[in-house]
Amino acid sequence: MSLDTLILDLGGVLIDVDYRATSRHFESIGITGFDALYTKAKQSDLFDRFETGELAPSGFRDEVRALLSTDLSDADIDAGWNAMLGTIPPERIDLVNELKQRYQLLLLSNTNAIHVPAFEAIIARDLGIGDFRSLFHGAYYSCELGMRKPNADIFQHVVAKNGADPAHTLFIDDSIQHVEGARRAGLHAEHLELEKEEVIGMLRRLGL
């Protein structure tokens, strides 16, 4: 591959995510059934709408309360929803800084208006980085774009916005459906299988 642009996913690729931690949190306060609403691979319509910004945080919380038959407070719902978020190991920040010197480096994440301030606060607290987006030449969140992976339009938007050629662009994601979507949009794409390796090892293996 002759590459000049790299697009990285956030959750799983850069920031550690434990999807089961959210279910465990809700179970710890007596709320069961969250796993039936949300999985990493296949989400219910509620989460799709939240990730594209169609649903505001207040609406998301109200629907969670209704679906789980609970009267949890906004703070309790946010705490459970954000429980899945880990941090970014410092060596991955070093990797990002290194890649930015050699490629047009972009971030593309399916995320939502509750997670964005939460992970930005985690990164500021743990790594002293007050402006996470500044680590990239461009950072794109589905909830702000009104589009989400794996649909072709979000890849096309990000590529066009940055004057990138899909034929010289590599996308890396830990969800195979997103990788397949990027390939359909004409990008090179690699699936990061987290049970086998992490992003630093993958990039070294690829010679990048």
pLDDT digits (tens, 9 = 90+) for 34-91: 877 765 445 668 889 999 999 999 999 999 998 888 999 999 999 999 999 999 999 9
Region 13-39: what's the mean pLDDT? 88
Q: What is the structure's pLDDT at 156?
A: 97
Q: What is the mean pLDDT of the chain?
A: 94
Q: Which of 157, 135, 136 has its CA nearest to residue 146?
A: 157
Answer whether 9's CB lies under 8 Å from 111's CB: no
Question: Is the pLDDT reported for residue 109 higher than 50?
Answer: yes
191: β partners:
173
Structural domains in the chain plus CATH codes: 5-16+88-205 (3.40.50.1000), 19-82 (1.10.150.240)
Lowest pLDDT segment from 25-29, 129-133, 151-155, 190-194? 25-29
Residue 98: which pLDDT band, with cuts at 50, 70 and 90? very high
Kindly list the strands in the beta sheet with 5-8, ordered across the sheet, starting from the edge strand earlier in the chain. Answer: 138-141, 104-109, 5-8, 169-173, 188-191
40 versus 144: the higher-pLDDT residue is 144
Alpha-carbon gap, residue 135 to 101, rounded angstroms: 11
Specify the pTM: 0.93
Alpha-carbon gap, residue 185 to 162, rounded angstroms: 15
Which residues are within 8 A (CB) of 64 and not within 5 positions of it... i.e. 6 or more apart? 37, 46, 70, 72, 77, 81
pLDDT digits (tens, 9 = 90+) for 175-207: 999 999 999 999 999 999 999 999 999 999 999
Q: What is the structure's pLDDT at 39?
A: 59
Q: What is the structure's pLDDT at 41?
A: 46
Q: What is the structure's pLDDT at 129?
A: 97
Q: What is the structure's pLDDT at 44?
A: 67
Q: What is the structure's pLDDT at 85?
A: 97
Q: Which of 183, 175, 176 has its CA nearest to residue 152?
A: 183
Evaluate the omega torsion of the peptide bond into residue 166 and state whether it is cis, within 30 degrees of 0.
no
Q: What is the structure's pLDDT at 50?
A: 94
Q: What percent of the chain lies above the pLDDT cut of 70?
A: 96
